[in-house]
Structure 1
Amino acid sequence: MSAASEALAARVPDAQAKTAFGQTTAHVPLSGWSEAARYVHDDLGCTQFDWLGVEDAGRPGAAGQRHAVLLHVIDPATRDGVLLRTELGPDDALPSVAALWAGAAWHEREAVEMFGITLADGRPAHLLLPDSFSGHPLRKDFVLASRVVRPWPGRLEPGEDGTSSPSRRRAAPPGVPDPSWGPRYEGDRTEDDRG
């Protein structure tokens, strides 16, 4: 373990940090997120913001209930990176790190809009989606309308062509709705167009 990993683990209670190949990865509790970010910025010199991302860490039946937030920053002098990771529950709010890295503000706004997480300092205005949009399109439980309107144009799976029986029960990938959801596609023309 490097000195940076040891110092970060000692500074933030319950942090688990390790370093390999110039990359320190630290899993920190949500309560230590701000302290870990400030330590990485001020004491370790990681002043270059790289990215902030979110992962829907919920199980298929509980999608959108748990999110993992990842922050990657770099020390410009050594080019060593630090990856901070924390987890949010459905009622947790993420403290903003935009005061330390201005570039994080855009990424945080995107995370709020696309995953439905909450920022501790309030909900920012829409960034990518129109105000009338409902839902969070990067969550596992978001139904993709394009999968409902038009069937998959690729090759049919066994059992879908009506001539053979499936060898196993097919599980729908994320974003594919239940067959009973919404209108069904019947071709390029509607009944009115057919005359």
Structure 2
Amino acid sequence: MADLSLSIALAAIDNATAPLRRVREAARQMGGGARAATERLGGLERSAEQLTAFRSMRARTRQNTRALAGLDTELTAARERLASVTAETNGSGRAFERATQHVAHLERRQAALRRRTESMRTATDRMGEALREAGVDTNNAGAEARRLADDIARATRRANALARIEARFDRIRRAAWASARTPCKA
């Protein structure tokens, strides 16, 4: 008889706490979903930042390449002037000295700009490779930037929705626990 009473009491407790267990399980699953959405959002934001840095670096590399082409033209003209001054002055005088210094200065600038441009190209290549490995098409960077912005907006909306649902579950859980603690009046 005592076993039957105990069995009935345990069944009643189990029935009374079943909604609480379901709420707790749903809250646990929502928490995992919110964490996953937040992690996805973080990954998308990092990809967007990397893409922005890549586009900026690529633009600066192109700018340096154009500057290098202009410097090459200027250096060619300076060398021609030096040859002309050398022929006129037999390699002596202030004009020859100034022309020689100008050519040397341009050659130093050219070498520094070449090193900087090559370093930027290498960095751009590394950044592009990392982005391609992350699934970002660097050949169509503008469209990829828009796609990432759309993905970030969707992930943000999802994370916000999950946070609202999680807050709702917390309120339900607190209400369920409060009602479970309230003694029943028979």
TM exceeding 0.5: no
What's the TM-score once normalised by structure 1's chain length? 0.19
Q: Which structure has the bigger radius of gyration?
A: 2
TM-score, with length taken from structure 2: 0.20
More helix by share: 2
**Greater strand share, structure number:** 1
